[in-house]
Amino acid sequence: MPSLQTLMMFATASLALAVIPGPTMLLALSNGMSGGLRRAAWGMAGATLGSAVVIAVVAIGLGSLMLASAWMFEMVRVVGVLYLLWLAVQLWRSPVADVQATLAHVPGREVQGRAAFTRSLTVALSNPKALLFFAAFL
């Protein structure tokens, strides 16, 4: 049974990580602004699944392996950075969307929702900050 001090440290660290926006939170904000609540919900579902997978992977020991292996940690970090750069280039090259047109019902929005799910899942899985956070606490 964890002590009260351990629980307070965990709650403080969890709050700090929730308040400081990371790539997953910024993507959720972008999904909500560009596609409304439905697209944001798809993105949140992808991020949640990604976090669950990261927790499971850390629980079976990959987190400690990555903490011990600087090379493996660097590979995960580089892949995450490359994916975030690819997302940034895609966002930079995309046309500016009209907010009113975006908020209106657009046929095929479900496809956009699935894309938001996939992007959020990929960002959550490639975020080394989450891996280190869960490794430290599990």
User: pLDDT tens across 10-54, in order?
Assistant: 788 777 766 777 788 888 888 888 788 888 899 999 998 998 888
Of 63-72, 77-86, 114-123, the one with minimum mean pLDDT is 63-72
pLDDT band per the 50, 70, 90 thresholds, residue 104: low
In the DSSP assignment, the letter for residue 1 is: -
The predicted pLDDT at position 31 comes to 84
In this structure, what is the dihedral angle of CA atoms 16, 51, 10, 66, given to the nearest 10 degrees?
-100
**Cα Rg for the chain, rounded, in angstroms?**
17
Burial of 79 (0-12, 13-18, 19+ CB in 10 A): middle
Least confident of 10-14, 78-82, 103-107: 103-107
Say which DSSP state 96 is in: P
**Model confidence at 108: pLDDT above 60:** no
List CB contacts of 48: < 8 A, sequence separation 6 or more. Answer: 124
Average confidence (pLDDT) over 104-108: 53
> How far apart, in whole angstroms, are the C-alpha atoms of residue 31 and residue 16?
23
C-alpha dist (Å) from residue 107 to 25, 111, 112: 26, 9, 10
